[in-house]
Amino acid sequence: MISTGSIADIQALISQFKSEGKKIGFVPTMGALHEGHLSLIDAAKEKADIVVCSIYVNPTQFTNQDDLKQYPRNVETDKSLLENNGCDVLFLPSDDVMYAGRNTIKFDFGDLDKVMEGKFRPGHFSGVALIVSKLFNIVQPNYAFFGQKDLQQLTIIKKLVEELFFNLEIVPVAIKREPNGLAMSSRNERLSKEERHEAQIFYKALSEAKLILKQNHSAENAKEIVKSLFSNHRAQLEYFEIVNDKDLHSKTKNYLEADTVLCIAGFIGNVRLIDNMYLIS
Ligand code: PAF
């Protein structure tokens, strides 16, 4: 695996690969890699000739400075994981390379970034769109791979690609779960063993709400079930929404459709977790 923090180096490598007719698959990450990331790499290996990963903890997408400070960073472990799992090139830029003190461009995705994560973390998706645009321009991939766990991020990045005419295909990859159902996330590293056990409530809530909706109960019933699960639990519910995956508008009827997805977010201690589940899968 070739590892570099230089834009010139990475662009020279990519041009070389492209001149040989190779397709580039790109997996952008913030590090603290887990099996979920490895499934993105597997998907990239299947579709592309060369797999490029980036590790960069992007400050502009953090709306809480403590969260940024506490975000897990394990670069050496990450490097060996990538090396052993078929990553060809690692882009590991510094803040100076990515921002050079500048952070002036803001994105606004209309309704898409005002709900759910956007409502609780205003400015988050502007930071995501900014860094993803920079990375796409640097790496110029043919395919870019994103986990479905960050469903709203995926929807917004698809919009970004469409509206800014990025010449690449976004490939969504299914959520990877722990045996207890907990969606894999770098933030899980900050949970104690006991908290990891308790964090399965998010999966449980999604599963129970899904069952209720499949039995033709109303959104209100599903929301009641979720609220009551959390009411006697140490985890704190931030939101539970039933939306369609295209414009993220709330659904109030016709749940049994392929675009219906249940989304949840909340805290275990001071660790914020999100998860989602399609109604039909
Ligand atoms: O999903 C993530 O890890 C990040 O939001 C991303 C896409 C790498 C941008 O920093």
**pLDDT reading at 32 higher than 90:** yes
Pick from 170, 147, 198, 200: nearest CA to 36: 147
The residue assigned the tokens 């659904």 is: 251
Residue 212's pLDDT is 95
Residue 30 CA, ligand 1 centroid: distance in Å: 6
Confidence tier at 253 by pLDDT (50, 70, 90): confident
- For the stretch 44-94, pLDDT in tens is 999 999 999 999 999 999 999 999 999 999 999 999 999 999 999 999 999
- Reported confidence tier of residue 187, pLDDT bands at 50, 70, 90: very high
- Residue in 131, 145, 149 to alter for ligand 1 test, most ligand atoms within 8 A of Cβ: 131
Q: Measure the CA angle with vertex 184, ends 211 and 281; round to 5°.
A: 35
Ligand 1 atom 6: the closest Cα is on which residue? 29
pLDDT at residue 141 in the model: 98
With a 6 A CB cut-off, is 150 part of the ligand 1 pocket? yes
Write the pLDDT tens digit of every residue in 145-172: 999 999 999 999 999 999 999 999 999 9
Q: Which residues are catalytic?
A: 37
Lookup: tokens for 276: 């989602």
